[in-house]
Copies of this chain bind each other. A is one copy, B any other.
Amino acid sequence: MYVVGIDLGGTFFKVGLVDAESGKILRKLERETKVNEGGDSVIQRMAEAVEEITEGIEYIGVGIGSPGSIDHDKGIVRFSPNFPGWVNFELGGLLSNKLNKPVFVENDANAFVLGEKWFGAGKGYNHIVALTLGTGVGGGVISHGMLITGHNGIGTELGHVIIEPNGPQCGCGNYGCLEALASATAIRRMALEGQKKFPESVIFQSENVDAKSVFEAAKMGDGLGKAIVDRVVNALSIGIANFIHIFNPEIIVVGGGVSRAGDILFEPIREKVQHLVMPSFKGTYKIVQSPLVEEAGILGAASVILQNVNKPK
């Protein structure tokens, strides 16, 4: 059984042909999105890419993981910051008409948790909380086997849960959101803010001041690096403990660029969360790094079609 996943981004989209049983990406290609050429042109190039990648192969349908606010029942992009013209854009319907195949669209953070359920760390679980730590912080939740999206399909904005009411301002306007404390953007900001006081930090000897250089510095014992990692760990631990108390999940999967820091991030989080959860929650969950890495986008998108085709009636 084969499905196609499209990981849609503002600059590029990636298309993959996925074997639904093994979770292997058999073929993949990447194309420029060229949003400025208009929706019809994007749809046309998407359709061509899908046809190219599925040549000679019978596939079930296409799943799309898209940034922005998605009406997943109708396959409509309500709006998406990097796609200025796409207001109530019928992404799913238009591509489905071109291909004559079912197409389902989901927000990319929701696609991520579906990807973990179908192909990643969430396999076999019905209660999964997923976080992606990238430019922003995205969240997706499966509870009782069901993707939680809320009344308007815009729920599980886990990155905008307020962790420190007096913390740094978030892009959303509020203060102390998880995104303002644990995204790659936040980590870079904290490093730059620390530069005046710690100009000697090894962070500033690396080519780029970014999440990676901060974690590298912390591993080397750098004071600023360690202080920033502490703050990120603290914010994520409070957030994850809250999500455990809310969803009582079997597993919390953390992905996105920042998650690649690995043990230096996950070990102190596990310790701190264990300390924060109430006794009845101890031993009920595990916190893991996403195993999907580079393939998370395509596999998440492919899971969108699988989840919808296999939906309980």
Min distance, Cβ A161 to any Cβ of chain B, angstroms: 5
Q: Is the CB of A174 within 8 A of B276?
A: yes
- State which size class the interface on A falls in: 35 or more
Q: Is the CB of B248 within 8 A of A161?
A: no
18 contacts between A and B (CB under 8 A): A126-B151, A127-B150, A143-B143, A143-B155, A144-B146, A150-B249, A151-B250, A152-B248, A152-B284, A155-B245, A155-B247, A156-B246, A158-B245, A162-B163, A162-B238, A162-B276, A165-B238, A172-B278
Cβ of A153 < 8 Å from any Cβ of B?
A: yes
In chain A between 138 and 161, which residues have their CB closer than 8 angstroms to a CB of chain B? 141, 143-144, 146, 148-158, 160-161
User: How many monomers of this chain does the complex have?
Assistant: 2
Kindly report which residue of chain B lies nearest to residue A234, judged by CB atoms: B165
Further contacts, 8 of them, CB under 8 A, given A152-B248, A154-B280: A127-B151, A146-B146, A152-B284, A155-B247, A157-B246, A158-B246, A174-B276, A242-B242
Most buried by B among A157, A158, A280: A157
Cβ of A241 < 8 Å from any Cβ of B?
A: yes
Kindly report which residue of chain B lies nearest to residue A143, judged by CB atoms: B148
Cβ of A12 < 8 Å from any Cβ of B?
A: no
Kindly report which residue of chain B lies nearest to residue A128, judged by CB atoms: B151
Min distance, Cβ A176 to any Cβ of chain B, angstroms: 9
